Structure 1
Amino acid sequence: MMLNARIAPLFYLFAGLFGFAGVGLAAAAAHGGGDAHLVASASAMCLAHAPALLALAIGAEKLRTAWLAGILIVVGTLLFAGDLVALRYLGSGLFPLAAPTGGFAMMFGWLAIAVGAFTRRD
């Protein structure tokens, strides 16, 4: 069994969790005051990356870089959204530069998808 086939269920899991969190965070942002923009940004990242992970899981057999892209997107989204949510509800972020680190990880995840265009499996 190829690595991509074994990691696809993980991407399905995080697609569902990010979709769930994204909708919940959107509701919290709509009804929250103060720093609701932090929660709204976390929601946007979760909702943007949930379908991307779903697509990577579905196409894992065709895209050689699917595993790398998915891992970067999962870790990046967890760091970025987690840092913003922690900052809003706990008063401090996860660790210094967690959100930018997550942002860069997500960006490189998308870049890995682009690179996959040149290394796809037929």
Structure 2
Amino acid sequence: MTLNARIAPLLYLFAGLFGFAGVALAAAAAHGGDDAHLVASASAMCLAHGPTLLALAIGAEKLRTAWLAGILIGAGTLLFAGDLVALRYAGSGLFPMAAPTGGFAMMFGWLAIAVGAFIRRG
């Protein structure tokens, strides 16, 4: 069993969790106060990257870099959205530079998808 096949269930799990969180956070943002933009941004990241993880899980056997992209995008989304939600509801972020670290991880995850276009199966 390949690494991509072993990580696919984890990608499915986080795709579902991010979808759920994205919808819940969108509802919270709609009823939020002055800091609703933080929750809305977290919602947007979850709703953008949940389907991405689903696609990576479905196509894991076709894209050699799916495991790397999934880890980077999943961890990045957790850090980015988690930091914004913590800032809104707990009054402080997860740790200094958590959101930017998560953002860079997501960007590198997308680059891993692009690099996968040039790595032949074989």
TM-score range, shorter chain: over 0.9
Q: What TM-score, normalized by structure 2, do the two folds share?
A: 0.98
**Is contact 1:62–1:120 with CA below 8 Å preserved after alignment?**
no
Deviations, residues 66-106 of structure 1 (Å, cap 9, x unaligned)? 00000000100000000000000000000000000000000
RMSD over aligned Cα, in angstroms?
Answer: 0.8
CA distance in 2, matches of 1:13, 1:120: 27
**Is contact 1:61–1:121 with CA below 8 Å preserved after alignment?**
no
CA distance in 2, matches of 1:76, 1:2: 23
Residue in 1 that maps onto 2:53 = 53
Q: What TM-score, normalized by structure 1, do the two folds share?
A: 0.98
Q: Percent identity?
A: 90
Residue in 1 that maps onto 2:27 = 27
In structure 2, the gaps of 5 or more residues are none
CA distance in 2, matches of 1:108, 1:98: 15
Matches for 1:34-45 after TM superposition, within 5 Å:
34-45=34-45
CA distance in 2, matches of 1:102, 1:45: 10
CA distance in 2, matches of 1:118, 1:3: 18
CA distance in 2, matches of 1:56, 1:120: 17
CA distance in 1, matches of 2:120, 2:9: 20
CA distance in 1, matches of 2:120, 2:22: 30
CA distance in 2, matches of 1:3, 1:68: 10
TM-superposed deviation, 1:120: 4.1
Extract structure 1 runs of 4+ deviating beyond 4 A.
none
**Is contact 1:72–1:108 with CA below 8 Å preserved after alignment?**
yes
Paired residues, number: 122
CA distance in 2, matches of 1:83, 1:45: 12
In structure 1, the gaps of 5 or more residues are none
